[in-house]
Structure 1
Amino acid sequence: MLGLRRFVLPTHTLIARTIQTSSSRSKGFFGAGRDGYDHYKDNIKQVVKHGEPSRRRFMAIFCCIALPCLAAGMWVAYRDHKARYEQDRPPYIPYAFLNVRNKPFPWGDGNHSLFHNKAEQYVPGVGFEEERKKH
């Protein structure tokens, strides 16, 4: 019985200490603890004021670096798209591994993929279904 008392008594005091320390540190419901809701608006203003230099730095980096990079990327993509469609389509070489059909597709006639493009994708046994349209 003496051994049990040694275990029970410290456990009881440990639980009481844990409850006391956790309740004193608790901020309450949505931060309404020691300060209550009186200083909520001031705290939000302080956070926004503290983050203002970071926001300005981000906007400067975005406007000076990201926007010109986006514009250059759009110009390169447009130029490559235009150059590709000005040329004729290269002749199709029927490699065996390009059009393996072990079983038909479960839609349509079974010979066309789900996102089939009639002008750009070769269909085995048929070829290209449409010619490229000039822009």
Structure 2
Amino acid sequence: MKPTRLAFILLLLGIGACRTYEEPPIGDLHLPDIVALFELSEKQELSKKEFKFLGDTLIAANQDLQAAQLYVEAASFYHQAGTSKKTVAALHQAIEKGMANPKILGRFPGIEESLEFPEGQRLKQRLDSIKQQLEQV
């Protein structure tokens, strides 16, 4: 291959690598006001169905932000609703987004007994792995 052709190909590759990622306009992002959601959650006597609704709403509200703490809060709502599988799914999402607290299950009283299904066991393994990694630091 001729040196000029090789230089041209490298130039094109370099230009392609320099392209920048364009952020979507803020108006296109799904950023609902979640303050009202948390105010509703502080209401005393919510039913399990209402807690599940709060969890579902918070997961949907977090679709663009993808904040680990909001996944943990959604897991808390699901736990109060008695839906172990959704609790575990939200905690997996929190871990994927950077949550690294191996003792997080302590926030969910009685959850240990309800983790006897494959995803629950996988969650325990992931938390054990996080704990081991933190002990090595």
TM-score range, shorter chain: under 0.3
Tell me which protein shows more helix as a share of its residues.
Answer: 2
Which protein has greater RCO, CA pairs closer than 8 Å, 6+ apart?
A: 2
Larger Rg: 1
TM-score normalised to structure 2 length: 0.24
